[in-house]
Amino acid sequence: MTQGVAPDARLRFDPAGMKEQRRSFYRRETVAVARDLVGSWFARCYEGRWYGARIVETEAYLGAIDRAAHTWAGRRTRRVEPMYMDGGHLYVFFVYGMHSCANVVTRSEGEPEAVLLRAAEAPSGPPKLLSGPGRLCATMGITVADSGIDLLGGSIRIFASRSAAPTVAVSARIGVDYAGDARNWPLRFYDAHSAAVSGPRRMRSR
């Protein structure tokens, strides 16, 4: 059964032997999940073949207390409903009239926190192929039709790192200048040595 938009062929890989992240991984503190997702693999099965990339950049969004989050002040609309699901679900939103962004829901049901997947490294191809949340979704073929799906056991999954743990750097998040004090919170995590990271590689000066 074929479903959704085809992923880029350069993402073909073999997940044999890789271990899927478990529910307990996602239910932890959002900051811990965001940090530990750097190095994990974001993968999708399409027409019986696996496609995926190694995550190199993430951002944590902390629910009601976080002005940059879609669930700030307890907002609960149809769009953000997946953020209220149990940890380990996918939340995808559409922004700027043309881009989709993929998030991993964290914590437990009723706690609307999530981790934005900002960049990943393809098994082959140019380093910028999945650099930035919009490009990551476009290249993986992820759309809002995928919002709310379970990441465990389905056609979109996350596997634990299969190499040594990366050196993870921290900075403020990107594109949230409207968010008051929250704009400076150190909630962006990235592989300090990856060429696929988007945006600046240091903390904003103010």
Partner DNA sequence: CACATGATCGCCT
Partner DNA sequence: GGCGATCATGTGG
Measured distance CA(172)–CA(16) in Å, rounded: 36
Nearer to DNA by Cβ, of 58 and 161: the residue is 58
82 near DNA, rule: CB under 7 A: no
20 near DNA, rule: CB under 7 A: no
Among 5, 27, 94, 127, binds DNA (CB under 7 A): 94
Nearer to DNA by Cβ, of 61 and 185: the residue is 61
Of 115-144, binders to DNA (CB under 7 A) are 116, 131-136, 144
Segment contacting DNA (CB under 7 A): 13-21, 44-52, 69-77, 148-156?
A: 69-77
32 near DNA, rule: CB under 7 A: no
79 near DNA, rule: CB under 7 A: yes
Among 31, 53, 101, 182, binds DNA (CB under 7 A): 101
103 near DNA, rule: CB under 7 A: yes
List of residues contacting DNA (CB under 7 A):
59, 61, 68-71, 75, 77-80, 83, 91, 93-99, 101, 103, 114, 116, 131-136, 144, 173-176, 178, 198, 200
